[in-house]
């Protein structure tokens, strides 16, 4: 047994990668309700935030590409472990911190489950620069007097009416001749 892995309360945007040293049937069994919880030594786990798969399924992209492109881990973090990630074979287990529901958790994984790496997902920068364009300022539309606005509306209406009537006349003329 490799020891206890502490997950602090409120942890977010962390992915833990485990190597599964077991037969494919055993790894597939971990997807069954309650099985993974038991081998990790915990009470509950959101299985929607857990992935168990053979590394060979990743084909050309590899585990490095899957972590960066599929899971949003910054490339710099993965590059440090590139050699280890490329050497992994068999099944792996990915657990996102959301799987623990924000609760403080202590994992005591079975001997066949070995923690290989902990990676942080890219966080979204929710701050935004204030809008500085002239058109974004309140009341920045061109100011027209009511008389000018009515005149402009009449010209637009007359133009649209002329275009529609011309199209109708052309259509009637095409049907008659």
DSSP labels, the chain:
----EEE-TT--SEEEEEEE-S-HHHHHHTTSTTHHHHHHT-S---GGGEEEEEGGGGTTTHHHHIIIIIS---HHHHHHTHHHHHH--SEEEEEEGGGGTT--EEE---TTEEEEEEEEPPPP----PPP--GGGSTT-SPP--HHHHHHHHHHHHHHHHHHHHHHHHHHHHHHH-
> Given this model, what pLDDT does residue 135 score?
74
pLDDT at 93: 94
Note the pLDDT of residue 144: 82
Q: What is the pLDDT of residue 131?
A: 65
Predicted TM-score of the model (pTM): 0.66
Averaged pLDDT in 10-residue chunks for the chain of 177 residues? 81 92 91 90 91 91 91 89 91 93 91 92 74 75 85 96 97 92
């Amino acid at each position: 047994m490799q020891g206890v892995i502490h997950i602090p309360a409120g942890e977010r945007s962390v992915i833990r990668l485990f190597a599964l040293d077991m037969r494919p049937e055993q790894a597939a069994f971990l997807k069954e309700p309650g099985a993974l919880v038991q081998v990790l030594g915990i009470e509950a786990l959101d299985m929607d935030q857990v992935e168990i798969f053979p590394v060979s399924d990743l084909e050309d992209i590899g585990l490095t590409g899957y972590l960066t492109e599929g899971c949003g881990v910054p490339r710099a973090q993965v590059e440090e472990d590139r050699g280890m990630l490329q050497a992994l074979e068999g099944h792996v287990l990915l657990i996102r911190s959301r799987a623990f529901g924000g609760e403080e958790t202590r994992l005591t994984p079975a001997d066949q489950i070995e923690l290989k790496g902990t990676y942080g997902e890219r966080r979204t920068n929710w701050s935004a620069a204030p809008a500085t364009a002239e058109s974004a300022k309140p009341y920045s539309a061109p100011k027209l007097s009511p008389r000018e606005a009515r005149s402009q509306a009449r010209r637009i209406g007359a133009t649209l009416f002329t275009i529609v009537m011309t199209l109708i006349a052309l259509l009637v003329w095409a049907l008659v001749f």
